[in-house]
């Protein structure tokens, strides 16, 4: 496999990772009778003691590996770009994917639920906070960065709008948990699906760019 083919596959892995993540949510909900997408968090699907944890953990691990490969390769291809916003934004994307992959693997949610503040769940929440902060940061940096590039304005606008949605839903999550509102699943899905939409769109745009020009100069 030559370098160009590897880069193309790596850039495609972002789209595949987003699809894999969505599939694990859908499949997990179907297999777990009585599971509520409205009231339960996505982490419940792979929590300790969850009925289909083994299968769904395989899917989330696949997602994590693919997403991390995409982020690292994309950063490597763009790190020489003049835009400091893009470079920092993509570095934060790498950090987010790495923390998400390792953190959630080490600290899965306990079956008692996120409302129970055991050591395991507290660590899970800390990982989530890091992921949310880095996600909000990288979406705004990339959104603004791409808006400054003429042929990437639509991508920049989409990422920026998604960043606003992620910020609002992320802040809302704390309010929902604190007030024990039965919509934690809904709010979390708005947040995470918006993120997966960003990854999919970024992967598609960068793959098309690399395929067309053989580089990611984005001029």
Give the Cα separation of 11 and 55 in Å (integer).
26
Contact 146, 206 (CB under 8 A): no
Please, which pLDDT band fits residue 34 given cuts at 50, 70 and 90?
A: very high
Q: Is residue 18's pLDDT more than 90?
A: yes
Q: In this predicted structure, what is the pLDDT of residue 115?
A: 56
- Segments making up each domain of the chain, as ranges: 3-213
Query: What global pTM score does this model have?
Result: 0.92
Distances in Å between the alpha carbon of 28 and those of 67, 124, 137? Answer: 20, 20, 30
Give the N- to C-terminal CA distance of the chain in Å, as an integer: 28
Q: Is residue 218's pLDDT more than 70?
A: no
Summarize pLDDT for 172-203 with one digit per residue, the tens.
988 898 888 999 999 999 999 999 999 999 99
Q: What average pLDDT is seen over the chain?
A: 91
Helix crossing, 53-78 with 84-106: angle to 10°? 160
Summarize pLDDT for 79-134 with one digit per residue, the tens.
777 789 999 999 999 999 999 999 999 988 776 555 567 888 889 889 989 999 99
């Amino acid at each position: 496999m030559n370098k160009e083919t590897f880069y193309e596959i790596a850039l495609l892995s972002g789209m595949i990772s987003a699809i894999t993540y969505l599939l694990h949510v859908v499949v997990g909900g179907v297999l777990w009778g009585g599971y509520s997408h409205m009231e339960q968090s996505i982490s419940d699907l792979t929590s300790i003691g969850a009925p289909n944890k083994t299968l769904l953990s395989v899917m989330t691990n696949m997602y994590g590996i693919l997403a991390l490969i995409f982020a690292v390769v994309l950063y490597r291809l763009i790190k020489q770009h003049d835009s400091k916003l893009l470079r920092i934004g993509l570095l934060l994307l790498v950090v987010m994917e790495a923390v998400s992959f390792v953190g959630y693997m080490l600290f899965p949610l306990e079956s008692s639920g996120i409302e129970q503040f055991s050591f395991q769940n507290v660590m899970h929440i800390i990982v989530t906070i890091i992921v949310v902060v880095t996600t909000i940061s990288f979406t705004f940096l990339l959104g603004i960065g791409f808006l400054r590039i003429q042929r990437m304005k639509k991508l920049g606008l989409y990422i920026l709008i998604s960043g606003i949605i992620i910020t609002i839903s992320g802040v809302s999550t704390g309010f929902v948990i604190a007030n024990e509102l039965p919509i934690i699943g809904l709010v979390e899905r708005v947040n995470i699906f918006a993120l997966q939409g960003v990854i999919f769109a970024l992967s598609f745009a960068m793959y098309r760019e690399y395929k067309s020009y053989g580089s990611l100069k984005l001029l």
